[in-house]
Chain A
Amino acid sequence: DGGITQSPKYLFRKEGQNVTLSCEQNLNHDAMYWYRQDPGQGLRLIYYSQIVNDFQKGDIAEGYSVSREKKESFPLTVTSAQKNPTAFYLCASSGLGTADEQFFGPGTRLTVL
């Protein structure tokens, strides 16, 4: 089946550790996105990429890093510089047209202990 997979579903991290969240899509989409969602809030854009080996900062990129070495993959690293990393992280992909819908993965819930 075509879609987006994120792993792991739940992740626990100690303060001061970096952690990488996986996102893979087999929809042949050019664009991929990472969002953060806090309880009761909407989604906030962390990073997005429209082409391999290129990505752009979103509204809240500080403390996060990404790579786009393959069209199918867009991993997100939450670094120790992110002061409040506990949140629900969502990956999405889409075509490049302004009418194109975004397809979302199931999300990763990160908790910092």
Chain B
Amino acid sequence: GEDVEQSLFLSVREGDSSVINCTYTDSSSTYLYWYKQEPGAGLQLLTYIFSNMDMKQDQRLTVLLNKKDKHLSLRIADTQTGDSAIYFCAVNQNNNDMRFGAGTRLTVKP
């Protein structure tokens, strides 16, 4: 199976919270990342979390990590239309390679 899995689509209404989920297989991952891709652009690092943390908050973004279940999530509070983009989960492997999920396309409806 895939190293990193995430669903391909998520649709929310403006003002609601968005939660994008990701599961991974490599328990030795030390850094876990969320990237954002806006239309016509490459991927840009949004936030990251160390594997010894459970949660990281940065303004409207909250990253939760459940190491036991190998589950990573990104919560966007008060989602705006400008948050519409593709969000990628990525983990580093024990040999420092990075593995990316396929990406979740977030659509924010007004």
Pair from one complex: no
